[in-house]
A and B are shown apart, each in its own frame.
Chain A
Amino acid sequence: MRHITRLITASTMIVLMTTAAYAQTPRDTVVMAKQIDDIISLDPAEAFEFSGVEVGANVYDKLITVDVAKNNALIGDLAENWTVSPDNLTYTFKIRSGIKFHSGNPLTAADVVYSFQRAVTLNKSPGFILTQFGFDKDNLLQKVKAVNDTTVEITVSKPFAPTFFLNCLTSGVASIVDSKLVMANAKDGDFGNGWLKLNSAGSGAYSVRAYRPNEQYALEANANWYKGAPKNKRVIVRHVAEPASQRLLLEKGDIDVARNLSKDQLAAVREKADIGLVQGDKGYILYLGLNTKNPNFAKPEVREALKWLVDYDSIERNIVAGTYKPHESFLPQGFLGAITDKPYKFDPAKAKELLAKAGLPNGFSVTMDVRSTAPITDIAQAIQANWAQAGVKLELIPGDGKQTLTKYRARTHDIYIGQWGPDYLDPHTNAETFAINENNGDDAKSKTLAWRNAWDIPEMTKVTQAAVLEPDADKRAAIYGVLQREHQKISPFVIMFQQVEVSAQRKNVSGWVIGPTSDTNLYAPIVKN
């Protein structure tokens, strides 16, 4: 009996000892840990989630892009230059010559037309970014034309503000794909969608080497990229759900970059000598949606009272420091027309006064749907404690993301706490959802955030819709400024924070820049020493 026990102990020890060693990541390979389980597809015509769009941004080129270093100014990408007709209806793009796809096929105007055609015809989630300019699968070939091998002419349906159309062309859905390669892999008229979900056919900095859903993707550098070969040979992004695990992997040198560290972990790694932080403002806005179907939220005083009843400072300092910054208007910093006004602060006395005015001097009871993820749960609990100070009894209903969202879209919530991320780099993306509600009926097709909170705003809807037709960029910005200030006063949205994306990296890594959207998170400049 005894020797058996000893044998077991000994063999266990041996297993533990021999496996303790770990390897460093290879020199020419950048290894990242990131939550990538949101990816539905790598097809640029379909990808609409943060991680999928980020892959596309590194694999495909677009006609134009933004310069992150110059406050998101529009610059040519595949297009060398472009002109806009005086009536703001026709755009002409001149394409760089000599560019080749990863497959070796030359990139021509025909590829541009095909890419637009497939994005509009497939009309997947991001398809509207293009179709809102009047394209559909029947008229596309008349509206997007190859004049010759290097010239493309695009006609839009209304004299939209050029900034609006051009900003939309910088989003992933306008990526240019290798038409020959895609057509060779098309099946049953799917424009190669089935194949592109897992593979790539681009001309960008990388090609997709292997993608396993919910596990990882590996990108191979394109030495012939027109901007010059990337500074690394390969990028591997591994799905690691737990921020705590990401941090440990980083500290042990198993990975080079950790993308999803929480506030406390960032504070901890900040102390480490061999780890550095990189940050960039993201367009995601954290807000509360108050459903005005609830008779209490139909009263403007109650809505205003709740805006005075969130301890923005304390939540920022203690729960989200470094990952969110205070922000109280619907356009995130970095967007045309964004304002920095922060009219609200924590003032329970004022809130009580407003509640009394609304006929609720003793407060009221209400529920909030909360996704069971950090830091949302903690923020919700802090708000719960804040509101109790004015007698507002908040009951938190936990749930998974999809569950709370389903309820939100059905307008059966009282309060929803969540994030909104812009779909493309133009103010209209957020203005549309926060300030347009064409039909407040339950049968409405368009489920904007204003509709979801049953906020009936015929006047504001008109103003917002007109803003996209203002050709002058400065005037357009001014319109959004007025709109946001009005919105801050009366809307059923308690806008609290804007996300700051922070990633931690080993000290031997440099060059990584975080852009304002997933479309601008580029891997090519990352170097390892």
Chain B
Amino acid sequence: MARSSAPVTGPATVTSGPGPGRLARWGKMLSRELTTVAITMFGLLAITFLIARVIPIDPVLAVVGDNARPDVYEAARLALGLDKPLWQQFAIYVGKVFTGDLGTSILTAQPVISDIKRVFPATLELATLGTLVGITFGIPLGVLAAVKQGRWPDQLARFIGLFGYSIPIFWLGLMGLLLFYAKLGWVSGPGRISIAYQDFVTPVTGVILLDAAMQGEWDAFWNALSHLVLPSAVLGMFSLAYISRMTRSFMIAELQQQYVIAARVKGMSEARVIWRHALRNALVPLTTVIALSYANLLEGSVLTETIFAWPGLGRYITNGLLNADMNAVLGGTLVVGAIFIGVNLFADILGRIFDPRTR
């Protein structure tokens, strides 16, 4: 589920005024940011590890099943290293992470890295399309609201935005399936692609739309798209709500600027003022907003993936959790955390480059 609250950007640590050279200042800032990231990631791992160990689920069960004999059970327990003290297990894990080894998943019996390579593109595809939906509908809606501030289009936009924050995503997904798939037959059902097309596309990037387009399998492409429409529209509702709200407030700020008034005085058409000048300036902070909302969709589609049988990262982590599949949970959380921190860093830097006060 997407966060219903606006994400908060990372710590801002800018010292302005005279000082060492600009390059040195950037270098210093970068190293400080990287230390912060490293500490955060370590904390993330430590907490995840602790939670996953406290959960009263026996990880050996996922390896040997319920009916296993005692000797088989014991052998599997030793193979998982569960006889060692907690801190030692954690130290071994962290040591391996540094060499790029995320371990093997209990559930899939595959290296976690290759699992993530397989499931992540599915989530990426969904989140990207969801964000596109959010941008396509959210920005015009936000602009409209800002232009007609206080009048009924503004109220409508506000209502739509708040509505997006109020719908249980799993319910919306179910209703969508009921209406557009089962009753009307406009879109395809759960899953990424219909079974008939399953083997037409060789996974290269893992993003089915890209792969199909590159391989010229247009039937498969359209089929995959018809599977994507509904989940990405559902996910897009959240993105839309957030983006339209932020667009509105940025646009209101821009429309009060001197240059807008000047342009109007010079007789420039209203459409030109809004779309060419005000929106263009508002796009800079909007990029940050879009990036954050994108990160939220990437990490938060557990429920959407459940409803639409979407083999993505959210489901991978959840499944791992419910089977005490430590390596899968830790690996997945690491990726999600890295994305979140990375996007925040990106938003931070972007803000600094374009914010006149720090320029």
Contact = CB atoms under 8 A, between A and B. Distances in A.
Contact of A19 (B61, B71, B222): B222
A155 B69 CA distance: 22
A1 B274 CA distance: 11
A239 B62 CA distance: 18
A70 interface: no
A24 B72 contact: no
A1 B55 CA distance: 54
Contact of A445 (B66, B70, B324): B70
Interface stretch (B45-53, B163-171, B182-190): B182-190
A184 interface: no
Contacts of B88: none
Interface stretch (B191-199, B253-261, B346-354): B191-199
B56 A20 contact: no
Nearest to B306: A241
A25 B196 contact: yes
Contact of B309 (A1, A242, A255): A242
Interface in A410-458: 423, 433, 445-447
Interface centre among A1, A49, A123, A402 (most CB of B within 10 A): A402
Given A23-B196, A238-B198, A213 B110 contact: yes
Interface stretch (A83-91, A143-151, A214-222, A309-317): A214-222
A407 B56 contact: yes
Interface in B106-160: 107-110, 118, 136-137, 140, 144
Contacts of A465: none
Interface string B29-66: 00000000000000000000000000111100111111
Given A23-B194, A24-B196, A249-B189, A128 B69 contact: yes
B56 A406 contact: yes
A40 B225 contact: no
B99 interface: no
A472 B256 CA distance: 97
A240 B187 CA distance: 18
A213 B72 CA distance: 23
B187 A16 contact: yes
Given A31-B195, A197-B109, A213-B109, A49 B65 contact: yes
B72 A123 contact: yes
Given A22-B194, A23-B197, A40-B65, A402 B109 contact: no
B191 A240 contact: yes
A41 interface: yes
Contacts of A8: 136-137, 140
A419 to B, nearest CB: 10
Nearest to B230: A16
Interface in B220-259: 222-223, 225-226, 229
B65 A125 contact: yes
Contact of B109 (A15, A16, A40, A238): A40
A128 B71 CA distance: 10
A447 B199 CA distance: 44
Given A19-B222, A24-B196, A402 B186 contact: no
Contacts of A20: 185-187, 226
A59 to B, nearest CB: 17
Nearest to B55: A403
Contacts of B136: 8
A128 B229 contact: no
A245 B310 CA distance: 13
Contacts of B58: 402, 405-406, 409
Interface centre among B75, B226, B319 (most CB of A within 10 A): B226
A22 B189 CA distance: 11
A335 to B, nearest CB: 16
Interface in B293-330: 309, 311, 319, 322-324
B78 interface: no
A5 B186 CA distance: 21
A295 interface: no
A242 B315 CA distance: 14
Contacts of B319: 37, 214
A238 B191 CA distance: 10
B172 to A, nearest CB: 16
A245 B181 CA distance: 10
B189 A214 contact: no
Contacts of B219: 23
B68 interface: yes
Interface in A349-403: 400-403
A249 B182 CA distance: 10
B67 interface: yes
Contacts of A213: 107-110
B61 A4 contact: no
B109 A406 contact: no
Interface string A1-31: 1001100100000011111111111100001
A124 interface: yes
A446 B68 CA distance: 9
Contacts of B63: 40
Contacts of A239: 309
Contacts of A41: 109
A248 interface: yes
Interface centre among A24, A218, A403 (most CB of B within 10 A): A403
A37 B318 CA distance: 14
Given A8-B137, A19-B188, A213-B110, A402 B182 contact: no
29 contacts: A5-B140, A8-B136, A8-B140, A15-B225, A16-B180, A17-B186, A19-B188, A19-B229, A21-B222, A22-B196, A23-B223, A40-B63, A123-B75, A124-B64, A125-B69, A125-B72, A213-B107, A216-B198, A238-B198, A240-B191, A241-B309, A245-B189, A245-B309, A249-B189, A402-B62, A405-B61, A406-B61, A409-B61, A423-B67
Interface of B: 55-58, 61-72, 75, 107-110, 118, 136-137, 140, 144, 180-182, 185-191, 194-199, 219, 222-223, 225-226, 229, 271, 309, 311, 319, 322-324
